[in-house]
Amino acid sequence: MKRPIYLDHHATTPLDPRVLDAMLPYYGEDFGNASSATHAYGWRAEAAALDARERLASAIGARDPREIVFTSGTTESDNLALLGVARASTHATPHVVTTAIEHPAVLDAGRALEREGGRQSSLPVDSDGRLAPETLAAACGEGTVLVSVGAATSEVGTLQPLETLAGLCHERGVLFHSDAAQAVGKVPIDVVAQGIDLLSFCAHKLYGPKGIGALYVRGGRPKIRLAPLLHGGGQEGGLRPGTLPVALCVGFATAVELCVAELAKESQRLCALRDGLFDQLVAELPGVMRNGPAQDRLPGNLNLSFAGVRADALLPRLPEFALSTGSACSSGSGKPSHVLVALGFEEDRMRGAIRIGLGRGTTQEDLTLLARRLTEEVRAARKSDATLAVR
């Protein structure tokens, strides 16, 4: 059976062969433990991990490679940022501020904090998914220790004004964290220029391996205090114990470097493909609604609703494509996306939403075929009483 055309690059990405080539030596002859300080196997592993740390720091504009803390992925990085800051705080009731459209890793970490006696505020956003600076300013008060706002929303592609939001936080003595899993390597990120104190990102959204991520923790003064989630051998400055997966670290750094190097050209290509697909569908079909902003969105993101058609019934009619109805972490829940709920959409529009995630392997031919097949199936649904139609 022919593999479906992959258009779900927000969920994960295929491993780039160049990344695999960089990793393979560390699954073979360079298998050493980076914590083994008494022989050449350990020294080589430690050197490779340090090189990866330096490359990752450079890619996001960090000043010091020691500001990169390796984790298992963005979910762990988000938990370490939110719970680590809150648990290390001297406030009796530490308060974290998020938005209603954050990834579950952020929102659920905030709920865990609430069970420990802390507080979480999830702020509303506008119909494009953007947080208004004045809304954030009003939410920061006594006991607020951290604000966490995702750099880019995976479902509708919204890019947040990180520099503005971070500046507001710093004026109030509050740390600023961003989940940038969807942003690093796709849009420019510079943690120093944007004033970001903590940043979460990972490899598998960037054509790298699954199981490796990082938390950038700004150095310097004032020092950021974090309570570790795990306890063990003291690796990663005591913040994340465990033997470093050197091959994954090397693959992570290689993947990010490749994305950053190709960012401008790839962004332009994906924007042209995305906008061309939308224009073609609008020309062929009435009732096509773009969810999220027309501008200032992720280059490879297009979220659409088709009036009168349910997405969960439409997608099975398109087996030649790998598409989704939203975040991979919640796509099987059967509930409307919490992101689309927060944007204030009517239920029919939410139930009809599909997310198209373009990536490095996407071609014009792929999208021409997708436009034709979507047009056929949506027209067929609207002409019949089949289960595709919204009730």
Residues noted as catalytic: 329
Query: Which two structure tokens, joined as six digits, stand for 356?
Result: 């198209």
Helices (H), the chain: 17-23, 40-59, 74-88, 104-115, 133-139, 162-171, 246-261, 263-284, 311-314, 338-342, 347-351, 364-383
Torsion of CA 152, 5, 254, 185, to 10 degrees: -20
Between CA 83 and CA 88, with CA 86 as vertex, the angle to 5 degrees is 105
* Backbone dihedral angles phi then psi of residue 172, each to the nearest 5 degrees: -105, 10
Helices (H), 186-323: 246-261, 263-284, 311-314
Question: Considering Cα of 23, then 25, then 27, then 33, what sign does the dihedral take?
Answer: negative
d(CA 41, CA 334): 50
d(CA 290, CA 226): 40
d(CA 198, CA 188): 16
Query: Which two structure tokens, joined as six digits, stand for 148?
Result: 């966490």
The long-range contacts involving 18-22, CB below 8 angstroms and separated by at least 24 positions, are 18/254, 18/258, 19/207, 19/208, 19/209, 19/251, 19/254, 19/255, 19/258, 20/251, 22/250, 22/251, 22/254
Q: How far is CA 282 from the centre of its chain?
A: 28
Residue with the two structure tokens 């009168």: 308
Residues 6+ apart with CB under 8 A from 359: 6, 7, 9, 13, 270, 300
Query: Which two structure tokens, joined as six digits, stand for 177?
Result: 């964290």
* Cα R_g (the chain), whole angstroms: 22
